[in-house]
Amino acid sequence: HNRYGNNDDKTSLASEFQDFERSNIRLKSLLGEGNFGQVWKAEADDLSGHFGATRIVAVKTIRACSAQVSLKDEANIMRKLGSHQNVVTLLGACVESEPHMLIMEYAMRGRLLSLLRAARSATNILPASVPGGRSLAPLSPRTLAGFALDIACGMEYIAGRRIVHRDLAARNVLLDHNGMCKICDFGMSIDLDAERLRKEQEKNAANDLMRHNAHKFKFDFGSRYILQHWQHTFGQGQGQGNCSKDHPHGEKKSHHGHDTIGKRHALPIRWMAPESLQYHMFTTETDIWAFGIVLWEIATLGSTPYSQLTGREVIRRVPQGLRPDLPKESRHEFYNLMSRCWHKEPHMRPSFAQSRLEITRSLHKWVDDDS
Ligand code: ADE
């Protein structure tokens, strides 16, 4: 069984999408700021065929001083994801010319992490619930389980489209007007199909180059050896299954400095599985690990994992078996689910579909218990 779903997908690396007309965007207010970019609340006219209509959107931009950073990969991943109720939808992009911009659906309730932390103090005013939407005030165990279910659904969809998110955390989950969770921020994500295609192309190029240069080798003592050497050097996408061999070791992003602690664009160390911390492997199973940490964030109303430890200590101790303290507040079902998400063996962790089923079952049980 292949957890990544369909292997036969042929994905084109070329983008066949047209850039959105910049003059149709008006930036209104700053929503947030990251290492390289900003997210703005904005108005956009004539989006995707809706001529004459204006829509409130969120626009991600790159700051002028970090012009070397591209939003193209992120746009391609969001385009591949298309539309799902638990994933932030891309409505348009300006990536053929600088400065790059991504135009996304606007999620008016903001980040899940902020909502969880606001709920800690009774004096904080939580947004009122909307008729037909989810009740956000107060955050009942059922509301919290609803968040977990939304995130499992969104991640099941993302994993099924052969995308590894790599930065799943409560800070990267937004809430819409109905209190529905939407996964966002694909800036670190990997498209497994695009990676496989890239590796195949590199392998073919390496083989062509070797064939072209074959006459330079006086003795045919090792064409086989040389081929192996080339294939070793350039890698070959031989993996088909659910193991992580066919997985990039973060090469795509290494020029952003992700692989070094303390650089500008830091890795999400406290959300990372042991194999990511040790070997820089990122798979759907490492996204499941992060999902377990998100369950923990929900149960603790936005605590920071291993808050007593430094990043370096986390990198050393998680591979030795350290796990976040199980929160006293959370119901037994979620203890169990989150600890299985943190199994040392990646293939022993539950899938997103399994997690979705388990959360749905608990929700039904609570409804039955309450009635
Ligand atoms: N912050 C980052 N992305 C956002 C979005 N799509 N909607 C609202 N706030 C955001």
10 Å CB burial of residue 236 (0-12, 13-18, 19+) is middle
Residue 184 CB less than 6 A away from ligand 1: yes
- The per-residue pLDDT for range 14-45, each reduced to its tens digit, is 445 789 999 999 999 999 987 778 999 999 99
* Most informative mutation of 109, 174, 176, 180 for ligand 1 (most atoms within 8 A of CB): 174
Residue located nearest, by CA, to atom 8 of ligand 1: 107
Q: How far apart are CA 162 and CA 197, in angstroms?
A: 13
Q: What DSSP assignment string belongs to 100-165?
A: PEEEEE--TTEEHHHHHHHTTSTTSPPPPPPTTS---SS--HHHHHHHHHHHHHHHHHHHHTTEE-
Residues of the chain with pLDDT under 50: 1-15, 226-227, 233-264
Ligand 1 centroid from CA 39, angstroms: 7
Cis peptide upstream of residue 99 (ω within 30 degrees of 0): yes
Residues 6+ apart with CB under 8 A from 123: none
- Are 272 and 282 a contacting pair, CB within 8 Å? no
* Tokens at 61, concatenated: 């931009």
| pLDDT value of residue 11 | 42
Residue 106 CB less than 6 A away from ligand 1: yes
60 is in an annotated binding site: yes
| pLDDT value of residue 256 | 33
Ligand 1 centroid from CA 103, angstroms: 10
Atom of ligand 1 nearest to the CA of 110: 9
Cis peptide upstream of residue 350 (ω within 30 degrees of 0): no
Angle at 209 between CA 207 and CA 210, to 5 degrees: 65
Give alpha helix (H) positions in the chain.
Answer: 72-81, 112-118, 141-160, 192-212, 223-234, 274-279, 284-299, 311-317, 332-341, 352-370
Ligand 1 centroid from CA 293, angstroms: 22
Ligand 1 centroid from CA 81, angstroms: 17
| pLDDT value of residue 67 | 53
10 Å CB burial of residue 51 (0-12, 13-18, 19+) is exposed
| pLDDT value of residue 13 | 43
Ligand 1 centroid from CA 191, angstroms: 22
CB-CB neighbours of 268 under 10 Å: 17
| pLDDT value of residue 140 | 87
Residue 174 CB less than 6 A away from ligand 1: yes
Residue 88 CB less than 6 A away from ligand 1: yes
Closest residue by Cα to residue 84 from 105, 101, 103, 109: 105
| pLDDT value of residue 64 | 62
Give this complex's ipTM. 0.96
Mark 217-226 as b/e (b = at least 16 C-beta within 10 Å). Answer: eeeeeeeeee
Atom of ligand 1 nearest to the CA of 184: 3
Residue 31 CB less than 6 A away from ligand 1: yes
Closest residue by Cα to residue 20 from 45, 54, 39: 45
Q: How far apart are CA 24 and CA 221, in angstroms?
A: 64
| pLDDT value of residue 77 | 97
Q: How far apart are CA 86 and CA 84, in angstroms?
A: 6
